[in-house]
Amino acid sequence: MYIFSIFMIYNCAKIRKPNEKSFLSIRFIRNINTFAGCNSKIVSCMIRMSVNRILPFLLLLVLFTSCNRKYKIEGSSSVTSLDGKMLFLKTLRDGQWVNVDSAEVIHGHFKMKGRADSVMMVTLYMDHEGIMPLVLEDGKIVVSISNTQLIAKGTPLNDKLYEFIDKRNSLEVKIEELERKEARMVLDGANLDDVHGQLAKEGEALVKEMNDYVRQFIVDNFENVLGPSVFMMMCSTLPYPVMTPQIEDIMRTAPLSFKENTLVKDFLTKAKENMQLIEEQKRMKQNASVGGQK
C-alpha cells in the first residue's frame, strides 16, 4: 500500500458618497457632535453599561459556537487486509504521538466523530504504521483508501491538502519518468550525450517547478496548520536538519506565528546548530591544510 505521513515526512459594505439630498445635513451632524461633546460622561457611562450587559451574551455565543464545531469522518477501504483492523487518529504533542480517536474497519467502512475545539493536523494510523495525513476540522470528512490512492475531502483544509499532494505526486512521477524516457530514446538510436543534455534540462525544470509549488503552498498557508505541516514534510527529506536556500527563502517572509510553531522552531534550532558545526569543520580543515603546507 502506498503510505504517506505528513509529519514524517492549518463584507464588504458599500460606502455611499454624501450628496445634497443626504438625510444628515452638515448642520445636523454639527449638532450631534455638540451634543456628544456636552454629554461625554453620560455616553461613557452608557457604553460601560452596554458592554457589561452584552459581554455575558458574547461569551455564551463563543461557547455555543465552540460546542457546535464537530468533526465526522466517514471512511471506506477497498484494501481487504484492513478489514477487522483498528484505525487510530494520532497527533504529535511534545514529541509523542497521542491518540485522538479510533474506529474499527467493518466490511470496508469505518466512522469517527467528536468535537473539533481547534483545527489540528493528525495522521491516520494502523497499529504503528502511518497511512495518511488528515486535518481534523469542523465538518464531514470523507476518506477513501485503496491500493493506489488515498483521498480525504469534504472540508476546506483537507480539500486543499489533497489537491497539493496530488499535484506534488504528479510532478514526482514526471521526474521519475525521465529515466525511462532516457532508455527509450537511446534504444531509438538517439545520441547519448544529446539525450543527457535534453533530459538534464527537463529534469531541472521539473524540480524547480515542484520546489516553487511547495514553497508557494507553504507561504499561502503560513497562518493555518497546513503551512508548518508541509514545511516539516519538506524538511524530512533532508538527511539531517540544515538550512538550505529554499528554507532560508521561506523563513525570510514567514510570520512570527509560523516561526514559533513547536515543530518548526525545533527544526530551525537544530538546523542552525548543525550549520555552525559545518562551518567549524570547514575552518578546521582549512587550518589543517595551511599547517600541512608549512
Compute the mean pLDDT over every residue in the chain, rounded to the nearest whole number.
Answer: 81
The CATH-assigned architecture of domain 70-154 is Sandwich (2.60)
Contact between 136 and 98 (Cβ < 8 Å): no
- d(CA 245, CA 206) in angstroms, rounded, equals 18
Shortest CA distance to 127 belongs to which of 82, 89, 86?
Answer: 86
Confidence bin at 117 (pLDDT 50/70/90) = confident
- d(CA 219, CA 32) in angstroms, rounded, equals 48
**Stretch 215-225: mean pLDDT, rounded?**
97
Tell me whether residue 293 is exposed, middle or buried, using C-beta atoms within 10 angstroms of its C-beta: 0 to 12, 13 to 18, 19 or more: exposed
Which of 25-39, 153-167, 169-183, 189-203 has maximum average pLDDT? 153-167
Gyration radius of the chain over CA positions: 29
Cα angle 48-54-55, degrees, rounded to a multiple of 5: 85
Ranking 147-161, 259-273, 279-293 by mean pLDDT, the lowest is 279-293
- d(CA 65, CA 97) in angstroms, rounded, equals 28
Question: How many CB atoms lie under 10 A from the CB of residue 159?
Answer: 14
Per-residue pLDDT tens for 39-81? 444 334 444 444 455 545 444 444 444 456 899 999 999 999 9
